[in-house]
Structure 1
Amino acid sequence: MFSQTLRASRSSIARVAKQQASSMMIKRTFITPTAVRQADLVQDLYMKELKAYKIPPVKAGDADAHVQKFSPPKAPKSPEEAEIANELKAYEAQTVEIEGQAEGGAAVEEVDWFEEEPEEETVHH
């Protein structure tokens, strides 16, 4: 019997909650703003000017002032054929340097830079 009263109370509580929720929804729909809209002169002027503004037409030549014309880089100068021939002849005319020979083909005295000189003996008194 106690369980039946619990069930009945639960269902009645749920029913009352639904009725209150629906009455709250109805109340919300009937609420209207009570503040009267006052005239905002600055906003009205701003909106009037925005509506009256006409965008200037875009011309095809307008971008010319902001874009640079492309010009390809100049081609590099090619070396002259005569200079190459003269440099090749000068290279062929050079004498070959061989280690241990002087310019004329004479033998050069070799100096051994890593040879240590003998130390002189000091006399003790």
Structure 2
Amino acid sequence: MFRQAVRQFTTSARRSNLIADLYVRELKAFKPTPISAAAAQEATKPWKLPTAAKVPALEAEGADALSQYDSAPVDVISAAAGEGVVAEEYKPDDWFVFPVDEEPGHHAHH
């Protein structure tokens, strides 16, 4: 009625590895020396609190200094091809403006 399962194991000859055998033998023979409490204390640094963060100088001056900074003109410099450095006036609306390329085939025909 019931069948017994028979497990079969295959074994192969153990390969001899001289380097691994030496390594394992040395690991087993190693006996670490216990560290004394004084030696452990010397190996660590004493813990101290980090320094407190400082308030940035501009924020410490107040809201009027921030508004003065915000209203200051922005100098924008661009290099034109073949010319020296040219100073331009800053225009906030010029940011993220992409040139529109005309697609071929959509030209008006006469």
Task: Return the TM-score normalized by structure 1.
Answer: 0.30
Hey, which of these two has a bigger chunk of helix by percent? 1
Q: RCO higher in 1 or 2 (8 Å CA, sep ≥ 6)?
A: 2
Task: Return the TM-score normalized by structure 2.
Answer: 0.34
